[in-house]
Chains A and B, each alone.
Chain A
Amino acid sequence: MSSKTPNVIQPSRREFLKSSTATLAAAGGMGMLGNFMAAPAFANGYAAGMTGGPTGFDGAERFQYNNTMSEGRAIEGIKALREAGNVPQKITMLLTDGAIGQITKPFPDGAPSAKEVWERETGIEIDIIGAPAEDIFKKVMQDVTTGGGSFDIYTGPWNSTGDLVSSGGAVNCSDFVTRYQPDWGDRERGTTTPENEKLLYTYAGDYYSVSLDGDYQTWFYLKGLYEDPRVQEAFLSETGAELKTPDTWDEVDRISKFFTGKDFGNGTMYGNGNLMSPFWGLATFYARFASMDFPNFHFFDAEANPQLNTELGIQCAEEHVRSFEWSPPDSLTFTWAEAYATMWNLLIPHTAIYTNLVKFGDGFNADGTPKSKATGMIGSHLPVGRRFGDKINRRSVLYYNITAWISSQSSHPEAAYLFLQWLSSTRTYTWMAGNPGGYFDPFQQANFREPLVASTYHPYSMETIPATIARSVPSINFAGQTALDNALDEEIQAAITGQKTAREAMDAAQGKWERIIKRQRRNGIVDAIKASRETWPTIVDDA
């Protein structure tokens, strides 16, 4: 917690302890000790009126709660379950390994971890089992199909919600939501729009998923490089245009082409920093695809027919494949981690990627050393799109996004739900999002007003991320998603590596998608596709 954090409600813990010692002595002397001790919340370091939450650091009161708030209702729910003798000793959670630290590591200095707070307030241990992000859903499905029942809570990509629900592996939490009223959709603190809430937390009209992430691909660029007069001059003389952050994919490609092969003192650069590899590169393709038409170019038409091998779809594939020319040579083997490193080493000028790029790579370590070469050089801008008259349809995409589900094999689904409600409610989540120990990213409105979050994600992201969220389309998340994504992914990779032309690849992907949809038709895939279309944003910007 920085010392700049306003402390409007209560003095710091140290001040509190200092003053409370004197007060206690005086109160004891006056025979008032009994009355004073009757205010347990205050005695435990909570702000007035608060009954739970983290303590021990400046500003902790911003993350504290009482039973009128979402987190407090979850804690009260556990207490009621305990009275009914219906609480487990332990809740087991399968979690992407890179996010574990955000729950288990104390943050900021003097604070407990989120896990400690939960266990202190409920007495229920949280047992976290880690798994790699790319493979975690396979573990989920193994548990579902084998009836292993190893976990109370699964986490994995938001995209897989449809598959999990169709397999019967997730608990419908609608009743719990009605009973405990989480603040996910709070218009002041929660998701940006009702559509966004629907997208992140519901499937086919019911609550199944709990969002623990904000994987809206956000544009970052090397501001320091863009503003370097040498670079500006070279760009102007080569392209005849001024170097500025791009508004359209054409401008992105022009900048990418310019930087490729250039050396501005940090080694040979590659212009395209966007993810191009199997699995991760789909996000780049989808974002480009979505902006091919005004205001959106959907993956499926209104009758749920794929649009991959339409002229616009093929054009998108051609552009995507061409952008590989400007990518680092090993980019087809990159996960997000290697892609981050290319920007941290100043080898790419820009990228649309997960927002924790700046959390882990811009700023200073505890010992004062910079986190990367890019420290102090990174900026962020709105998503890019295409010009249609005097408008631009800037589009990004929600892709992956760590999401939690209650296992249908859990023997204590209500307790598991209450833990998730507590963890994902806007106070606890905001506190956790600021924690640099993992990659749960901010996405709630309260997150972007929080100094702790701004201190790790940097002030320049605090406006562009919510603006990106508002302009993001959902990637595929209905039953059959894994097969659909894999089919497209393989064809895109075939085109990138020259095994097929973009047109051939899109024709093949179209055929595969049609076949998958035909087979999934009985599982309601057509309705799910139509419902998904309705969650796409319509916001457009002036050119």
Chain B
Amino acid sequence: MTDQTLTDTTGNADTMGYWQKVARDGPRMGFWFVLPTLLLLLFIVVFPLLMQLYLSFTWWTPLEGIPWYQAWEVFNWGENYWFMITDPRFWGALWRTVLIMIVAVPAQFFLGMALAYLFIDKFPGRKIFYSIMLTPMMIVPAVVGLMFFLLFQGTGPVNDHLGLPAEFSWLTDVNRAMISVIIADIWQWTPLMFLILLAGMLGVPSDQLLAAKLLGGSNWQNFVKIILPRMKTVIIIALVLRAVECFKIFDLVFIMTKGGPGVQTETISVFLYKQTFGDLEWAYVATIGLSILIALSILAVKGLSYMAKK
């Protein structure tokens, strides 16, 4: 920057230096810099949402033989929304997803917490056990699905070990199919919970625990009064992470039961998949997708504001 440009305070652009102009036009320049990214974001986020909204008010399917943007030809005045509200299969799938979530996630949490507690102290072979513990979550979910599909066959190892007859069917029984899926999910994702919770536990200051012990606190008291409060954030993160993942559960269910028998293990993801690529009801899927997005967004906002107040 030259002396001339530094002393020029008239705002004459011709006499201003390059960086001075940049400084003056800062906000406007910033806008132009981020505009491409904004446009890209708009395209990635807003456009699909608008497309989804548009399709959700039509009967359009790929079978129409017309491109999606001409879906107005089969406009249906929101009938898809009414159909969704009255569709027992949709509500059933939603309920089953929630059921898996409210059973599997707490089970994973308690198991993970117990295991993490065991792993705080050093013991011989800790590293080996640690590695073994983490193995399930490193396996591709589809492979886990196949493993449990084989394990739970009537003539499979589970029945063999439990001394159950081949007729004792897991995956084709109305109730046991869901139990099988939940067991598989717990087996695979408890290690993740364990990992997060262990990290949280190791973050608790050891001097506080030591002080509590010296003052006569029992292990249980230490756990409840010191460890748990200190881990609050980590626990919330772990639970939210698993709950969100559980809501999207697909691979395990699809490989193990394909949502069956009937629709007894059909989760919302499996239901949407079948509607999309099986029944080709894309407009209806758009309706459901959009509704779930809105519902979850409201829940998230409520949850965040609640947490902020706390």
Contacts and interface: CB of A to CB of B under 8 A. Distances in A.
Query: Are A and B associated in one complex?
Result: yes
Contact of A329 (B154, B261, B274, B281): B154
B172 interface: yes
A233 B274 CA distance: 49
A140 to B, nearest CB: 10
B279 A482 contact: yes
Interface stretch (A150-158, A223-231, A357-365, A486-494): A486-494
A141 B62 contact: yes
Nearest to A332: B172
Interface in B153-200: 153-155, 166-169, 171-174
Contact of B261 (A142, A168, A479, A493): A493
B124 interface: no
Interface residues of A, number: 35
Contacts of A141: 62, 277, 280
Given A278-B258, A490-B263, A499-B262, A167 B277 contact: no
B63 A278 contact: no
B280 A163 contact: yes
Contact of B153 (A142, A166, A333): A333
Contacts of B155: 329-330
Question: Which residue of B62, B155, B167, B168 has the most chain A CB atoms within 10 A of its CB atom?
Answer: B62
Interface in A211-236: none
Given A163-B63, A329-B155, A483 B261 contact: no
B98 to A, nearest CB: 19
A62 B70 CA distance: 53
B62 A486 contact: no
Question: Which residue of B63, B65, B153, B260 has the most chain A CB atoms within 10 A of its CB atom?
Answer: B63
A138 interface: yes
A142 B273 CA distance: 12
Contact of A482 (B74, B278, B282): B278
A497 interface: yes
Interface SS majority for chain B? loop
Contact of B65 (A167, A494, A499): A167
Contacts of A333: 149, 153, 171-172, 257
B57 interface: no
B262 A329 contact: no
Contact of A486 (B65, B167, B174, B274): B274
B82 to A, nearest CB: 13
B264 A483 contact: no
B262 A490 contact: yes
Contact of B277 (A142, A166, A498, A523): A142
Interface string A33-65: 000000000000000000000000000000000
B277 A329 contact: no
A379 interface: no
A5 interface: no
A330 B172 CA distance: 7
Contacts of B65: 166-168, 523
Nearest to B68: A145
A486 B172 contact: no
Nearest to A333: B171
A533 to B, nearest CB: 21
Interface string B232-267: 000000000000000000000000011011111000
A494 B262 contact: yes
A383 interface: no
Contacts of A142: 277
Contact of A166 (B63, B154, B169, B171): B63
Interface in A101-157: 138, 141-142, 144-145
Contact of A479 (B63, B167, B168): B63
Interface in A319-346: 328-333
Nearest to B273: A138
B101 to A, nearest CB: 22
B59 interface: yes
B173 A497 contact: yes
Nearest to A505: B262
Nearest to A484: B279
B64 interface: yes
A404 to B, nearest CB: 20
Contacts of A482: 278-280
Contact of B264 (A144, A331, A487, A497): A497
A7 interface: no
A497 B274 contact: no
Contacts of B173: 497
B278 A329 contact: no
Contacts of A522: 74
Contacts of A519: 59
A193 interface: no
A142 B282 CA distance: 12
A334 B277 CA distance: 22
Nearest to A479: B63
A310 interface: no
A496 interface: yes
Contact of B263 (A330, A331, A483, A494): A494
A49 B252 CA distance: 59
A520 B262 contact: no
Given A278-B258, A330-B169, A493-B261, A483 B281 contact: yes
B150 to A, nearest CB: 10
B95 to A, nearest CB: 15
Interface string B280-297: 111000000000000000
Interface of B: 59, 62-65, 74, 149, 153-155, 166-169, 171-174, 257-258, 260-264, 274, 277-282
15 contacts: A141-B277, A163-B280, A166-B65, A329-B169, A330-B169, A330-B171, A482-B278, A486-B278, A490-B262, A493-B263, A496-B261, A497-B172, A499-B262, A500-B262, A520-B63
Given A330-B154, A499-B264, 17 more contacts: A141-B280, A163-B63, A166-B64, A328-B154, A330-B155, A331-B172, A332-B261, A333-B171, A482-B278, A483-B281, A490-B262, A494-B261, A494-B262, A496-B262, A497-B260, A497-B264, A519-B59
